[in-house]
Amino acid sequence: MNIKRTDNDALTATLTIEVAQADYKEKVDKILADYRKTATIPGFRKGHVPASLINKKYRTPILVEEINKLIQEQLNNYISKENLNLLGNPLPVEQGEIDWNSENYSFDFEIGMAPEFEVDLKGQKAITHYEIKTDDATINKQIDRIREQYGKLISKTEVEAGDQVTGIFRNDDEGINTDATFTIDKIKGKTNEKKFIGAKKGDTLELNTKGLFNDDHDLMNFLKIEHDQAHDLDITVSFEITEVNEREKADLNQEFFDKLFGPDVIKSEEELRERLREDAKKQFAQQTDQKLLTDVTETLIENTKFDLPADFLKKWIANNGEKELTEEEAAAEYERSEKGLRYQLIESNILKSNEDLQLKFEELKAYASAQIREQMKQYGHMDATDEEVDQIVARIMQNQEEVKRMSEQLQNEKMLQFFKDNVKLKTKEVTYEDFIKEAYDA
């Protein structure tokens, strides 16, 4: 068997595989001989069917199957031996009807190859890495929310600003009869707010649903109606006040700190503020890091220039999906996937050039162990032993889906850190609101 390569251009080539009779004859003859021993054909005793009849009935399908096996094996061997970096799989070149009574055969396959290129990280323009600052006003609001959450309710008879009211919304025509609890600050507009202020437990208020709450989603939740209905609802409802409560904020004392973080972890308001700042920083870092990763990816795709075997890839897309696509459908799919393919090649180039980025089994195990310990802490298991963690890790490492998920997660984290260390960055400190506006044009 012989394979010959003919380059069509820089990124595509044709592989011609020549199959001679000597390559397949012995194997095909053996299979036919075995068939003759076991074949059951009416009019002949088992094992005594004439060889000519066996050949006529079975030779062609056996020959086709064996030649296909030979071709696939030789293609794989050739690609591996020549160290070809292919895009997609070899595509058989259409040819006329094959005469399976011949002794020698020739088959052509088109291949598309990944381009050679360099990734210049240092030459890229500086990319903004946002840092979200948590100012005192934000921390004060967060502390107030937590104090209210852990505070206690004091029953009242008359509604004042800031109070929490419970009651029943009713409208017989719309079938509304629902209980609801909300704070007065959710009410929209002074006119609506005045109807509540000074009202007493047992009073019934007449309210219009249009513009009743600052957020239409509150109207949907409190009246238990569909999302689309809430946005356009303009009806009158009654609201019978059944409870009025003032929420007294929890004191900033050790009992409060212990409820939040466990015994003696936080011992003062200053430590609480510092902890909230750190937690906010971690939370915001996930968003700013994701934005950075997206921006670096887009910049690399835009500035790393290389050609792709586009025509080959379109043909490959057309013939290798769940269903065969038309030329137009394949071209559209190629356009949708081209950026992703370019980044895959760029990332592969970076991984190949930086051995430290390659994932190692022990590294993945350590990553899994750290994740498990963190999860156990969240459920109150603060002092898990190495043996306990190792047993869970062993189970996880037997789950292919979990291993794949963690591998992708860890690889993304390593790539992110690599970009932070190697790409030109300019740090910009902003508030969370400004980050949303700048990063997402909100």
Residue range 65-81: average pLDDT? 95
Domain 152-248 classification at class level: alpha beta
Give residue-wise pLDDT tens across range 82-94: 999 999 999 999 8
**Does residue 432 surpass a pLDDT of 90?**
no
Residue range 55-80: average pLDDT? 94
Residues 6+ apart with CB under 8 A from 47: 36, 37, 38
Residue range 6-23: average pLDDT? 96
State residue 322's pLDDT score: 82
Range list of H helices, 201-253? 216-223, 227-232
Give residue-wise pLDDT tens across range 228-248: 777 778 999 999 999 999 988
Give the start-to-end residue ranges of the domains of the chain: 2-113, 152-248, 267-307+354-440
Band of pLDDT at residue 438, cut at 50, 70 and 90: confident
**Does residue 442 surpass a pLDDT of 70?**
no
Which is nearest to 113 in space by CA: 353, 307, 327? 307
Strand partners, 427: 129
Give residue-wise pLDDT tens across range 304-348: 999 999 999 999 999 988 888 999 999 999 999 999 999 999 999
Contact 167, 241 (CB under 8 A): yes
Rounded to the nearest 10 degrees, the angle between the axes of helix 269-303 and helix 254-261 is 30
State residue 411's pLDDT score: 94
At 50, list the tokens.
Answer: 């004439």
Residue range 397-406: average pLDDT? 93
Q: Which of 40-49, 80-89, 325-334, 358-367 has the lowest mean pLDDT?
A: 40-49
State residue 146's pLDDT score: 93
Domain 2-113 classified CATH 3.30.70.1050? yes
Distance CA 35, CA 63 (A): 13
Band of pLDDT at residue 149, cut at 50, 70 and 90: confident
State residue 78's pLDDT score: 96
State residue 321's pLDDT score: 81
Contact 105, 18 (CB under 8 A): yes
Give residue-wise pLDDT tens across range 284-295: 998 999 999 999
Dihedral sign, CA of 115, 118, 123, 125? positive
Give residue-wise pLDDT tens across range 173-224: 988 999 999 999 999 999 999 999 999 999 999 999 998 998 888 999 999 9
State residue 135's pLDDT score: 83
Cα–Cα distance list, 241 to 29, 110, 189 (Å):
93, 77, 19
